[in-house]
Structure 1
Amino acid sequence: MDWGFPRWRSYGGAREAVEVRLCDRHGCDEPGNCPAPKSPNNPDRWHFCQRHAAEYNSKWDYFEGLDKEEAAERARTEQRDNAGYAESAHYGWAGSGDGSRSGDEMRALELLELEADADFAAVKKAWREKAKQVHPDVKPGDKAAAAEFQKFQVAYEVLRQAEERREWKG
């Protein structure tokens, strides 16, 4: 008896039942929250759990039934339409890591053969070791070594500037 005071009622007492769609895979009792098309150009969808959706999509070929020119045109169209997502990687919205580093930083760390959580002291040490091996003074006249040294220089600059930005913000 709450005498008309709703705050005295138990929590969840007035909550309605929620309808959960189960996975369409026979025998699966997981929620089916991953829609998948039943056939091309058909609005009907299967609803799978994440595990069965991955299984369903594993052998799916986006370019099936297209000749080389049509496949190339579709690939160009997709590349053009998805260019905004590639741009977003600059802001750390995409790519590996925990989102604290940009895609350029992750590529620089990969070039220096470091983990994503490496601190700047480790970056500096790895850069010095790599740069000493291919420095133009060590290998004069070697164009490949000079190009490799330039890559290490750019990677170090990217990481140095990112560290300066972090120090400035922090």
Structure 2
Amino acid sequence: MPKARRSNDWGFPRWRGYGSSREATNVRICDRHGCDEPGDCPAPKAPNSPERWMFCQRHAAEYNQKWDYFEGLDKAEKEQRAKAERSENAGYAEAQHYGWGGSGDGSRSADEMRALDILELEADADFATIKKAWREKAKTVHPDVKPGDAEAAAEFQKLQVAYEVLKVAEERREWKG
């Protein structure tokens, strides 16, 4: 009977060679011309198509930047699909109080993002910046400044709603934190 041989790693398995008997793995390269990064992010070639481009993370973000999920749908179909998605994602909305964050970390809702667009601000704007931008814009179209101007009144109302959306969101974040 052969004698059991003791290994040289003194009981520390991490000292043994890792994957010395494994073969090389194939890595798909990014489909963007001239890029040599690994392409591990799939991106659809066309709406409702099973074919995918494989991009690196940087080029996938560039490709998806202007992607419009609702492209080619008429207004009624867009509303129907958006409503279906809101109802499917309702469970996530219920769990918003478990979120970690402040602004700029992906925690802003679509309504908040639209309100920031109205105020012409970036997604990571803090509330002091929001308040300052709202005041500056509201002063130019306030009904006291432009009495009888229906267009200015509508713009003022839009600014008011945008500010209220952002104010409520900020209060909710302060209440959570």
TM-score, length-scaled by structure 1: 0.59
| RMSD, matched Cα | 4.6
Letter in 1 for 2:28: L
Residue correspondences, number = 147
Q: Which moved more, 1:26-35 or 1:11-20?
A: 26-35
Q: Residues 22 and 28 of structure 1 are in contact (CA less than 8 Å); yes or no, is this contact kept in structure 2?
A: no
Aligned residue for 1:120? 127
Change in Cα spacing, 1:115 to 1:29, as seen in structure 2 (3 Å) is closer
Identical positions, percent: 58
Quote the residue 1:13 is aligned against. Answer: 18
- In the alignment, the residues of structure 2 paired with residue 163 and residue 52 of structure 1 have an alpha-carbon distance, to the nearest angstrom, of 33
1:22 corresponds to which residue? 28
Cα 1:12–1:35 change in 2 (3 A) is farther
Q: 1:11 to 1:85 in 2, by over 3 A?
A: farther
Question: What runs of 5+ residues in structure 2 fail to find an aligned partner?
Answer: 1-5, 62-71, 97-103
> 1:13 and 1:36, CA in 2 relative to 1: closer, same or farther beyond 3 A?
same
Unpaired stretches in structure 1, ≥5 consecutive residues: 55-70
1:167 partnered with 2:163: no
Is the deviation greater in 14-23 or in 140-149?
A: 14-23
The answer to whether the 8 Å contact 1:33/1:47 transfers is no
In the TM superposition, residue 149 of structure 1 has moved relative to its aligned partner by 0.6
* 8 Å contact from structure 1 (residues 127, 152) kept in 2: yes
CA-CA distance at 1:158 after TM superposition: 0.5
Per-residue Cα deviation, 1:116-160 (whole angstroms, up to 9, x for no partner): 222212211211111111111222221111100100100110111
5 Å matches for 1:142-157?
142-157=149-164
Alignment CA distance shift 1:6-1:53 (3 Å) = same
Please show how residues 6-85 of structure 1 align to structure 2 within 5 Å: 7-10=12-15, 13-14=18-19, 16-17=22-23, 19-23=25-29, 30-33=37-40, 48-50=54-56, 76=77, 80=80, 84-85=84-85
Structure with bigger RCO (C-alpha 8 Å, 6+ apart): 2
